[in-house]
Structure 1
Amino acid sequence: MKQALKTVWMSMRPPFLLLTVSVILLGAALAVWEGAAFDWGRFLLVMIGGLSAHASVNLLNEYEDWRSGLDAMTQRTPFSGGSGALQAHPEYAEWVMGAGYFFLGVVIAIGLYFVHELGWGLLPIGLLGVALILFYTTRLTRMPWLCLIAPGLAFGPLMVMGTYYVLTGHYSERALLVSLIPFFLVNNLLLLNQIPDIDADRRAGRVTFPMKMGVPLTLQVFDLFLLSAYGVLVILVALQWLPPLALLGLISLIFAMPMLLNLRRVRAGNQERLLPALAMNVVINLLAPALVAVALWLSR
């Protein structure tokens, strides 16, 4: 039992769940900055639901990648290639799959509760979120353009606007625009992580964006998404849709600049510089939304 639970825990990839915390804090901080009352009960339910959604997609991804043999063909890094938990203990594969569906059930239960309490406005986000969890690994990783934007859609518009809706009871253009910051960043997170897995993904029948378009174009899209994320933040502050303090999010450029330098070396053929770039990309994804959230909270 102890080893089974440890395998499930590792397959959830706990360090990466911090991304959910960061983007939900962004949605909540925006709602509070606009004047919404902070409801701890609703906030905690949203956080549990978001973490459950992230855990579910990680667990189902881990199970499917083990079942297809993909993880056995992948050269694992701290940021890609799975956790290795099922390679070490394949006898607990059913536990991992079961846990994935259990957390999906938690997501659905919390979503139905909020639909009952707040009305049908939350339903489209909930249905799309459930679809992304169920079909990301089995379907979307064979559709390069959808695979490109699905991660950002989940952690940007769905999580940020879902949190905002629960705390305010409505959607807003400002919330949609703010959600584009994690949208572009999280797209980049998965986009860069797919580069080391190109050969393994090809053998497993996947068709990811880097595989389809090649690494040079992939890195150009990466640059465009990164510029777009910071550009959205600066424009929103310039238009006074966000307070000036929100520019705290630009502190994450401390990691973005050396990351881009490393990726230039990757373009030149130095593949060893990809791993440091992957690490900095993770830090940017965690730090930028959290810094904007702190700024909004302080400016309320």
Structure 2
Amino acid sequence: MNKALIYVFESRPQFIILSVACVLVGAGSAYWKAGSINLIYLALALVGAMSAHASVNILNDYSDYKSGLDDMTPKTPFSGGSGILPKKLMSPRAALYYGLATLSVTVVIGLFLVYARGWELLLVGIPGVLMIVLYTDYITRSPMLCLLAPGLAFGPCIVLGTYFVLQGYYDITALAVSLIPFFFVSNLLLLNQFPDIEADRKVGRRHLLTLAAPRNNTYIYAVLITGAFLVLIASVYFKLLPLLTLIGLVSLPLAVTTIVGVIKNCENIPSLIPYLGRNVIVILSTLFLVALGLFVS
């Protein structure tokens, strides 16, 4: 494989689409409020978010390889790492340096934006960087942090951060719309942990699936995905978001069938895998549609 492509695949670019969707939600909110946005600031926010996402993917891959988790984890399109390190396509040291380099890109962009837009950006920037650095070795040892940290990173950190960069302040609209990816992404990471339960137990991870039966966790999953749609509906009802953002409800029927399928197949991983894919479609389509509704409005 071409060396450049190895580095691309190690960052798991198919997942970084989620960061793009979250940035667009924040940008759409700012555009709806102001009627215009600074495209340079938007580009910087987008690169910063994408490099942050790449960093956590790479550093997680590095830590999982060093702990031996990769050798115990069944590979699926949604879990089990990139496969680059177990195949010896990249050295662990190179992966570590790559992860730190992408994190450095985020930090440098963040510091520039703090200088350009205001110190208040640190309110979401510092927690975001801490979650990248601490995620694999520390956050995954705490069930509640493991559940909530992904949602906080992609919701309040990315969406609020993008909004602040473009608007220069935070407000209730930004907070409301940031809760949609908060629920969705916590739900995403919870569901994607189903294939890894036994391997995670062996290396000391303590997320909810290692502590409670899979079926009990499916109910948490159902609450989280429902919460995202309820936030959208409530935000429109209270006029925090424009009516057109309800276009995001187009994915609701798929979400309902996905919930039913997850509950039904939670103890049969091969049968569950297609629903992991459907869950990704629900999340990305809803976020992109909400962003579209904001921009058009």
With over 3 angstroms needed to count, the CA separation of the structure-2 counterparts of 1:6 and 1:94, relative to structure 1, is farther
With over 3 angstroms needed to count, the CA separation of the structure-2 counterparts of 1:120 and 1:235, relative to structure 1, is same
Matched, 1:129 2:128: yes
Counterpart amino acid of residue 278 in structure 1: L
Instruction: Give aligned pairs, total.
Output: 297
Q: How far, CA to CA, are the matches of 2:242 and 2:265 in structure 1?
A: 37
Alignment deviations for residues 251-279 of structure 1 (CA, whole Å, 9 cap, x no partner):
11242122122113225x44432101100
Q: Return the TM-score normalized by structure 2.
A: 0.97
Q: Does the 8 A contact of 2:140 with 2:206 survive in 1? A: yes
Q: How far, CA to CA, are the matches of 2:87 and 2:202 in structure 1?
A: 22
Structure 1 residue 6, shift from structure 2 partner? 3.3
Q: How far, CA to CA, are the matches of 1:281 and 1:205 in structure 2?
A: 27
Q: Which runs of 5+ in 2 are unaligned?
A: none
> Aligned runs of 1:1-300 on 2, under 5 Å?
3-89=2-88, 92-267=91-266, 269-299=267-297
Instruction: Supply the RMSD in Å over aligned alpha carbons.
Output: 1.3
With over 3 angstroms needed to count, the CA separation of the structure-2 counterparts of 1:286 and 1:210, relative to structure 1, is same
Q: How far, CA to CA, are the matches of 1:36 and 1:166 in structure 2?
A: 15
Q: Does the 8 A contact of 1:210 with 1:218 survive in 2? A: yes
Percent identity, please. 43
Q: Return the TM-score normalized by structure 1.
A: 0.96
Counterpart amino acid of residue 190 in structure 1: L
Alignment deviations for residues 103-161 of structure 1 (CA, whole Å, 9 cap, x no partner):
11111101110111122111121111110000000100111110000000000000000
SS in 2 for 1:34: helix
Q: Does the 8 A contact of 2:6 with 2:89 survive in 1? A: no
The worse-fitting range, judged by mean Cα deviation, of 182-191 and 119-128 is 119-128
With over 3 angstroms needed to count, the CA separation of the structure-2 counterparts of 1:68 and 1:4, relative to structure 1, is farther
With over 3 angstroms needed to count, the CA separation of the structure-2 counterparts of 1:99 and 1:271, relative to structure 1, is closer
Q: Does the 8 A contact of 1:11 with 1:59 survive in 2? A: yes
SS in 2 for 1:87: coil
Q: Which runs of 5+ in 1 are unaligned?
A: none
Q: How far, CA to CA, are the matches of 1:107 and 1:270 in structure 2?
A: 39
Q: Does the 8 A contact of 2:215 with 2:263 survive in 1? A: no
Counterpart amino acid of residue 37 in structure 1: S
SS in 2 for 1:88: coil
With over 3 angstroms needed to count, the CA separation of the structure-2 counterparts of 1:205 and 1:90, relative to structure 1, is farther
Counterpart amino acid of residue 287 in structure 2: P
Alignment deviations for residues 1-27 of structure 1 (CA, whole Å, 9 cap, x no partner):
x75443332221110010000010000
Alignment deviations for residues 13-57 of structure 1 (CA, whole Å, 9 cap, x no partner):
110010000010000000000115311100000000000000000
